Structure 1
Amino acid sequence: MLQEQRLSPNALQRIGRQVEAMCRQLDEPEAVISEFREEMTGHLIMSVEDLLGAGLPEEDALAKALERFGEPQRVTEELESLYRIRKTYARWLFKTALVFGLLGMLVIGSFFAWNEGLHNIVVKRLNHELFADAAAGKIGAEITPELQASLQAAVDDHLSLRSASAVIRDMKEWVPYTFTYPAQLPIDASGNVQRVDGLLFYTLYTGAMIPVGDQGKALSVTLQQWLFSSGYFMLGAVFLFAYWVLFGAWGILNVYSRRPITVFWALMIILFNALGYYAYLKLRQLSIFRPALAKS
């Protein structure tokens, strides 16, 4: 195992002056300049230590490292160009990625929340009211104006309902619906309102059979509801994929604008996205990883 090389105070001062000469020419926020100062100092120290390990005297190693690094003005111009790229493109990529990510989570979250349960709330409430009315004797042998008004209000007040159909019939015999709201909707061969299947939404039948009186009669109600389709889910997946790609591009560009990035860390950011980028930042802060990251 190689013995760690220690630089003299004079060498560290010369490195500090070189870095400060570049920092004075940077037109960036103080946080950026501070980060730049730390990284460039680390670069130069490790470069000198490598040359010392190769057998050069400290003075020669320091001179060669500074020569490799280049003139402060030229280096600063290159760094300003990289920062300008990050400001112009990386910020736009990051904001766009966040927008797509939020849209994707909203779409997919609403898909599962609605299709897996929320759409049933209206149906359960209406069925509860109808069962209560039947038990109280408010529903007789025909569809009363009050019952019609109740079904109409349910459809009009809830975007989740497309139509409501009802009939009072013998529980063992099927008969066509005598009431359908809205009345102008097309009816299929079975007497139900025709289904509508679209790109983002489709319709689903839900029904209830509510006993009426003691004559073997029942109120048969069928509701047609709107549900999110697989196309809606795929739209959310596209939004999340766009977020994944844009965030990965932002992470790689943001890292590269500060120092070269290895294929390993580029793949980590692409595959694990925010977790990969966070892991890079945390490991970068540990001194044990800095040489490997800086030489990448």
Structure 2
Amino acid sequence: MGNKKSSRMFIFFSLLPAILIYTVFKVLPVFEVFKLSFYRLSVLSFSEKFVGLHNFRALIHDNNFIRAFQNSVLLIVYVTIITLVLSLMFASILVNLKIKGSSFYRVIFYVPSVLSIVVIGGIFAAIYDSKNGLLVSILGFFGLKGPELGFLGDQSIVIYSIMLVMVWQALGYYMVMYMAAMSSIPKNIYEAAEIDGANSAVKFFNVTIPLIWSSIRTTLSFFIISNINMSFLIATILTGGGPDGASEVFLTYMYNQAYTNQSYGYGMAIGVVVFIFSFVVSAIVSFVTKREVLQY
């Protein structure tokens, strides 16, 4: 009995530092954000005034926030779908077709996910350059012209330019994860499917996808959360939310309101909305993608 108690005490004190750090730097800030969202205050002011739900009511009528919300949803939906489809496709090709030098391609695809966001921003700032950029040069080679204001200056396409960067950055990371899951599928399952007359497409959709579904489900929830953070970093570096707010997303707008416009309470209200939105979307994705785990 004494040994069990000593063991529990040892486990408790071993975990205590991690629990304290997590509580101080994760849990308490969340509660503080919720609290501050009910106040009117600025970063430079030491006074605060309780305004209840005023900040949240103002968000409903804030056209700039609504546009940032729409941009964020657009990026979450399109970037998630495009990245998922491409990463699954490339993973299947590299695992099943036995392409020569597949390890080399795996490394090449994975490199963008380990690059600094600043480096990625510099690369695509050069690619999107309206005068001497790579895209302008390619279009010129085919006798075409790019947008007059550039890929990052045209309000109608700037969000899609950011979308391309996000797909490029995330593609290799998820491809490698899916390759690891596909590599663990026994070959005899594919051989049995071939005996039954299944072609490559049938094997992919009826064998590969169901057997790695747990990995897909896990990465979907993770990707949606990371998408919100990544859109903030890339939009900040490439456009700063411009032109004229056309590339504003959740967190760029929150940052601008809290620190640039000195409306800290209003910015925290946006943070609360982002938190709830992330939680709800993750819960919906987890529920919709729930399937019986297949054993092999």
Higher strand share: 1
TM-score normalised to structure 1 length: 0.24
Bigger CA radius of gyration: 1
TM-score normalised to structure 2 length: 0.24
Higher helix share: 2
